[in-house]
Amino acid sequence: MARPETPRRLIVNADDFGRSPAINQAVIQAHLDGILTTASLMVGESAGDEAISLARQNPRLGIGLHLALSHGRSVLPPDKIPGLVNSQGRFSDRAAATGLRYFTHRDLRRQLRAEIHAQFAKFHATGLTLDHVNGHLHFHLHPVVFRILMESADAFGIRRMRLTRDPLRLNARLASAHWFYRASHSLIFSSLAARARGELQRRNIRHTRRVFGLLQNGRVNEEYVAALLARLPAGDSELYSHPSLDEFKPEFDALISPRIKTAVREQGIVLIRYQDL
């Protein structure tokens, strides 16, 4: 007797929810009129309150925490975490240097722990269900940050997390150019994901097998999404993007494209949220 075919299930996520009104509106429209199923909330950003209100009005949209420890605004005031932010409460925009500081400066770990706890507390205060956890620029997989998250995983209510691994071999068939960026990021995050996977399994924190979008770096356009859907492997995957009505409008256009919606339906791809894993 033939074994049943493993379904192809896809989480379609928007990062940076709450960063600007243009992003917030794109997220909601892509959810209502397109294929978007989840969004990751930056609780410290200027449009965060608007995003929370919109999320409450759209309960089918899965909302996760987009932990910001670089390229963003902190929840705690600058005097509480002076080693992490400037006087305006902003983290550094130099991701590589920031990641190195977090790794080498042990004295920053107390401040990191305090800010991470504050971001989770602010998320839980919204009353929204925590669909998933990930990090802005994937800092949730930084070894120091990941250790802090796992120390308090139960207290934070972490049940599902993005395990960022975008397979380079498949990506090479979907897109061209930017080879150094794609190869280097594939190597870095394959290593970080391999390091984190065992701990997630031990704690029964669920994740998808693959995460698409990392190697595109702001180029999750209609052509890429169409090519991905045609080759989407069996099992559970995530596609993340950064839809907005201004800066990344091609990514928004891809998520509401009639061609893409038809492809999802005709190819029998099941759209899910992290909480459906």
Instruction: Establish how many alpha carbons lie within 13 A of residue 230's alpha carbon, considering only the half-sphere containing its beta carbon.
Output: 10
**Angle, nearest 10°, between helix axes 222-231 and 258-266?**
0
- Consecutive H or E run containing 146: helix 143-151
**CATH (domain of 213):** 3.20.20.370
What is the 8-class DSSP label of residue 42? -
Nearest to 36 by CA among 1, 4, 62, 71: 62
pLDDT of res. 225 = 97
What is the 8-class DSSP label of residue 6? P
> 266 near 53, Cβ under 8 Å?
no
pLDDT of res. 217 = 84
pLDDT of res. 12 = 98
The answer to the question of residue 98 being in a domain is yes
- Consecutive H or E run containing 153: helix 153-156
The answer to the question of residue 235 being in a domain is yes
Give percent of the chain above pLDDT 90: 90
The answer to the question of residue 110 being in a domain is yes
User: Cβ–Cβ contacts within 10 Å for residue 246, how many?
Assistant: 11
- What is the number of H-type helices and E-type strands within the chain? 11, 7
Question: What values do phi and psi take at 12, rounded to 5?
Answer: -115, 110
For the stretch 20-54, pLDDT in tens is 999 999 999 999 999 999 999 999 999 999 999 99
The answer to the question of residue 3 being in a domain is no
Number of domains in the chain: 1
Q: How far apart are CA 73 and CA 33, in angstroms?
A: 30
Q: How far apart are CA 55 and CA 69, in angstroms?
A: 23
pLDDT of res. 2 = 43
| Overall residue count recorded for the chain in this entry | 277
> 270 near 7, Cβ under 8 Å?
yes
Helix, strand, coil distribution of the chain in percent, nearest 5: 50, 15, 35
**Angle, nearest 10°, between helix axes 21-33 and 249-256?**
20
Query: Low-confidence residues of the chain, pLDDT below 50?
Result: 1-2
What is the 8-class DSSP label of residue 78? G
pLDDT of res. 4 = 58
pLDDT of res. 6 = 86
> 131 near 63, Cβ under 8 Å?
yes
pLDDT of res. 218 = 82
The answer to the question of residue 1 being in a domain is no
pLDDT of res. 1 = 43
* Domain membership of residue 54 as a residue range: 8-276
